[in-house]
Structure 1
Amino acid sequence: MPALIRLVFLVFLLSCGASVGAAGNQAVKHALVLANGGYSRDALPNALRDGKLMAQTLRQLGFAVTERTDLPREEMMAVVARFTDGLPEGATALVYYAGHGMQVGGGNYLTPIDMQLTGEASVPLKAYPVRHLLERLALARSAVNILILDACRNNPFQPAGAVRYRSFNALGLAREHAPRGTLIAYSASPGQQAPEGQGKNSVYSETLARTLLEPQLEIRDIFNKVGSLVRRQSLDDQIPWYESSLTDDYYFQPPDSVTVAAGKPLQFARLGREGREVRGETPPPLNWFNDLSAQEWDMLDWEIQQRVERLTADELPALEHQAAGGSLVHQTTLALAYREGIEKAIEPGSGKVTRYNANNSKALKWLAQAAEAGFPIAQVELGEMYFAGHGVDRNLDTARHWVEQANRVPYTRARLDLFQLDNLLSTMEAARDPYLGGVRKRALLPSLENN
């Protein structure tokens, strides 16, 4: 065969192979989008819009999408069964759910629109168990399973009224164990709640849809970024969370260095300096507050101080629950409330507020937790406590350490504190200088000790 003919034939084979490979890869990406919003009580109009947004986004990413809305329990079960049973060998399967969900007895349940609230004992019979959905995915022929739950609502059977703070154990959704080859993403961390959102879509779904379309992000990078963006937008009121048992990197839109093979997870491989194949590593998630401006830091500081000033003792259980869930803003707020005193009295004539029942050990515990997590407002507050000896032994070196840490962001109060601390430490160092006269030493030291 002449060389030119062989070349044309080879190009033809390669182009055909590329077309088949692309089509094959697209064919094994399947998504099921479920959105329940038309509840007879506590309707969720955003859930339906969120479902539509996610379906559109996934189609843009090459998924074959099955979209269903406002399903009763039997239909939910049938739709999930048809979807999982029809998955081809080695497929990517993604299930997205928006709507009410609840945690009862440590188990998570998605709420059908026909569910009547009669009591906790009937929930397993009237709701759709998340565990059942995960089992269906685990038994399917898919290679990669992704479950996204924008359903962190409260348990409607929890006590209300004066006893509503009796327990927070059943709020939101509980943690699920991700079977092998599965990633589970939640719009809020375990045991926490997520609001539906005031806009056209929920904050979580809107952020997720936008981030999914960013090219060359590995799946864990996507959910790390979504978590950071939602935490910033909600000022840490909502903390998305995910867990993964995926053993390979996965890309919705892979970079050039990724090998795409139909029927298999997307494999990431690159050549190291020695020419051998090495695995890509997922970088740690960025703190949600890293890119706040100086004005935003000052406003956030002011808002925390105002919240502490208005706080009443009956708000503490809810505040502690959110702090325990990882919210750095709530940890800092709780710490300052304990430091200032959780009870308050207002003089009738002057309106002067006096706070009492302070707890320095609890204040130090929560401030230290938030400061060690890198939250600058907590770092400044902790530094000032060590500077003043407020509830701790005075230690200027420790004070400077925390204030210096806070100066990694453009935070006005942190910069002023560091400037003042450095001036003070410089003055003290000069006072200890053996070449200075003893009279000056005696004049400076007593005044410093009084600062």
Structure 2
Amino acid sequence: MQACRCDIRGPRRGVSQAPHDSLDAASPDLFPGALPTALLRPTVRRRQRQGASRMRFSLRPMLAGLAFVLVGCTALSAPAWADKRVALVIGNSAYRNTVPLPNPRNDATDVAKALKAVGFTVVEGYDLDKRGMDDAFRRFANEAEGADAALFYYGGHGFQFQGSNYLMPVDAKLTGVGDVNYEMARVDDILNDLQRANGVRIVMLDACRDNPLAQQLLSKASPTRSIGISRGLARIQQTAGSVIAYSTQPGAVAADGGGRNSPFAAAFLGEVGKPGVEIGALFRRVAANVYKATNERQLPEVTFSLLGDFYFAGGSSAPTPVPPVLPTPAPQTPAPAPLDAAAQAAVEGCDKMAASPQDMDRPSGVPGVEFNRIQPRLAVEACRAALAAAPEDRRVQFQLARALDVAGSDAEARELLTKAAAAGSVSAMSDLALMLETGEGGPMDLPHAVSLFDQAAAAGNISAMRNIAIEFENGTGRPRDAVQAAQWYRKAADTGDPQAMGFLAVLYLQGTGVPKNAGEARQWIDKLVETEHTQTMLRVGYVLLGQTGAVKDFATARKLFQRAAELGDGDGNVMLGNMAANGIGGPRDFGRATDFFERAAAIGNLNAKASLIPFLMAGAGGIKRDPGKAADYGLEALRGGSPVARGLLIDKASTSLTPQLRKAVEQRLAKAGLLNRAPDGSYGADTLAALQAFVLAK
């Protein structure tokens, strides 16, 4: 893992003294630093459907990681398929000198059991005194050495003191502030232990209970002198490759549950064992479930600094190697009986809405629709009518499954794919294999998935070839083998597949599975530019900016972004704007940056609208100062899932927003009924909770 250290903040002067066209002279509050990028989901589905991208690189993190207001550190997470997983789980309930807590011991017991079930080796500690906590930390530090995934879970009392977080052993006795460093366990110590892991590092703190002992210290303090003790926990400084989950907003107080578990632990236990759920999606579900279970009184917060994916279950642990399956020809079925005119019209309607460009059954003259461009409501309606007219037509079965997949009806989609694959649809075999691999719409079945991919690839299905490459690359269902991965990417690329071209180019740049060869990589990039697959262009362009440790080539990156922009992809202009604003591959030019951002915003690109916020705050780059418009852009982009907007409005709000913009955001939240006080720009925990509710209510 590498971090790119860079600071684009200009001289530390206030906005009021800044020249109208200068962000260099703008307030440092406009520049929040690094965004915890792995909180952000891909803009398209990760799994590879016919014509959809199963991504080795995620577009949304790269947009956030390079967004000019957010440039700081870009880090790669460990692979999602961790081999060595370790955890330290502590639950302190039986406090001797303050209020006991009913849930933490139960929570820790249940969390430890759940983590063991998904492959973690767990160091457990219950009702630990200070010596016991120190000993548990030492044991965990030894276990975490070189781990692919390391997790720390704590349930019990905790509070913040002078900006640092402390966890309370059961024997802690605080008579004055001088006792804090001796009686309490420091979260910073466990964070240092987590750094021994090579891969993803996860911290879960259910430690924000109301603590009378901390309140006693506050009451003893001089009213004229702050001692720095606060309710709840402070926000932890993020490090590369980490995930930090708080049971409630930093500074707020969490609740114990009325049953066996706390709301946070109960929500996590309900999600952790579900296969194929990426960690970002998992914690979003946890947050939503806690918010609902507590009648909107408690909202967890999770911050990330990952670019890759991590799965607790269903794809994250090293699988048992599956013996190779000999490819078999696709089963042949008799040609369907001719359709009458009405039935033929219905089938053609389905073809128009949901045919796959890669489907071998697609009739000539039918162009097909890429997966991420399917309109689910219209496509489902058209293809249901077609299936009623031609119930045994495997192409119609497959196309309705595609539409249902986009619509989120996974179980029905899987059932239809099973029928179509049995009838000989090669495309259905490939898509069904993905659902079997991930456990989507039903139970996981890796051996069956591998067999179907092999059959589909043997029949010439490009998506299956690419997915076989990904399985070898990640060790999913097959032994991890970089050479085999490169060979399968080459097979798909040789057919003219743009995604495989891009992935293969990256392998040549990195020397992974093939000799490092920048010239060979650029040949594949030149072929990629001749296609219209903009998402792959953006991903490869991002790699060429040097953000993943590969060779830097700013000119070629700009060429890829320009080509994507020419083809109508707004993110191409966003990336060009990021380059101009950061001075990447040329002098910094804010006017040129705003031009690129405005072009993308004009076609509805939300990352572009969010990227314009600092310019609208400062009145820079040729744009008039307009906090109201900045707030509108920010909230629109936040609700639409823009990582740039989240970084500005939530993750780094205290340092990225002017007082005028903070007040403008609060005014809009109050108008929506989400903020129950007069907007004053204070931007406290209630504002952040309102923003989270704003996102959840979309």
CA contact 1:102–1:108 (8 Å) conserved in 2: yes
- CA distance in 1: counterparts of 2:280 and 2:171, whole angstroms: 35
CA contact 2:267–2:286 (8 Å) conserved in 1: yes
In the alignment, which of 88, 105, 110 is matched to residue 48 of structure 1?
105
- CA distance in 1: counterparts of 2:670 and 2:127, whole angstroms: 36
Q: CA deviation at 1:47?
A: 0.5
Within-5 A mapping of 1:103-182: 103-138=160-195, 140-154=196-210, 156-158=213-215, 159=218, 170-182=230-242
Q: CA deviation at 1:251?
A: 1.1
Q: What does residue 37 of structure 1 align with? A: 93
Paired residue type of 1:246: L
Local SS of the residue matching 1:232? helix
Unaligned runs of 5+ in 2: 1-80, 316-436, 438-469, 504-535, 540-636, 642-664
Q: Give the 3 Å change call, closer, same or farther, for CA 232–177 of structure 1 in structure 2.
A: same
Local SS of the residue matching 2:198? coil
Structure 1 length normalisation: TM-score? 0.53
Q: What does residue 334 of structure 1 align with? A: 676
- The one-character-per-residue Cα deviations of 1:252-289 (angstroms, maximum 9, x if unpaired) are 12453665459x9xx9xx9997333467xxx98999xx
Local SS of the residue matching 2:166? strand
RMSD: 4.4
Q: CA deviation at 1:208?
A: 0.5
Q: Relative contact order: is structure 1 or structure 2 higher (C-alpha 8 Å, sep ≥ 6)? A: 2
Matched, 1:99 2:156: yes
Q: Give the 3 Å change call, closer, same or farther, for CA 254–114 of structure 1 in structure 2.
A: same
- The one-character-per-residue Cα deviations of 1:61-113 (angstroms, maximum 9, x if unpaired) are 11112211011112211211121123352421111111111111111000001
Q: What does residue 307 of structure 1 align with? A: none
In the alignment, which of 270, 274, 278 is matched to residue 218 of structure 1?
278
Within-5 A mapping of 1:9-20: none
Paired residue type of 2:207: A
Q: What does residue 134 of structure 2 align with? A: 77
- CA distance in 2: counterparts of 1:67 and 1:128, whole angstroms: 16
In the alignment, which of 240, 258, 277 is matched to residue 198 of structure 1?
258
CA contact 1:225–1:286 (8 Å) conserved in 2: no
Paired residue type of 1:63: F
Local SS of the residue matching 2:201? strand
Within-5 A mapping of 1:11-410: 28-40=84-96, 41-138=98-195, 140-154=196-210, 156-158=213-215, 159=218, 170-254=230-314, 256=437, 260-261=474-475, 274-276=498-500, 277=503, 332=674, 334-335=676-677, 373=691
Structure 2 length normalisation: TM-score? 0.36
- The one-character-per-residue Cα deviations of 1:149-186 (angstroms, maximum 9, x if unpaired) are 1101245333469x99x999711000001222211111
Q: Give the 3 Å change call, closer, same or farther, for CA 114–261 of structure 1 in structure 2.
A: farther
Q: Give the 3 Å change call, closer, same or farther, for CA 333–83 of structure 1 in structure 2.
A: closer
* Larger radius of gyration between Structure 1 and Structure 2: 1
Paired residue type of 2:247: S
Instruction: Give identity over the alignment, percent.
Output: 30
Local SS of the residue matching 2:88? strand
CA contact 1:149–1:187 (8 Å) conserved in 2: yes
- CA distance in 2: counterparts of 1:46 and 1:238, whole angstroms: 16
Q: Give the 3 Å change call, closer, same or farther, for CA 45–371 of structure 1 in structure 2.
A: closer
Normalized per residue, which structure has more strand?
A: 1
Paired residue type of 1:175: R
- CA distance in 2: counterparts of 1:329 and 1:184, whole angstroms: 32
- CA distance in 2: counterparts of 1:254 and 1:183, whole angstroms: 19
CA contact 1:236–1:328 (8 Å) conserved in 2: no
Aligned residues: 282
CA contact 1:145–1:181 (8 Å) conserved in 2: yes
Unaligned runs of 5+ in 1: 1-24, 288-322, 339-360, 377-407, 410-451
- CA distance in 2: counterparts of 1:54 and 1:328, whole angstroms: 38
- CA distance in 2: counterparts of 1:48 and 1:106, whole angstroms: 27
Local SS of the residue matching 1:122? helix
Q: CA deviation at 1:223?
A: 0.9
- CA distance in 1: counterparts of 2:136 and 2:188, whole angstroms: 16
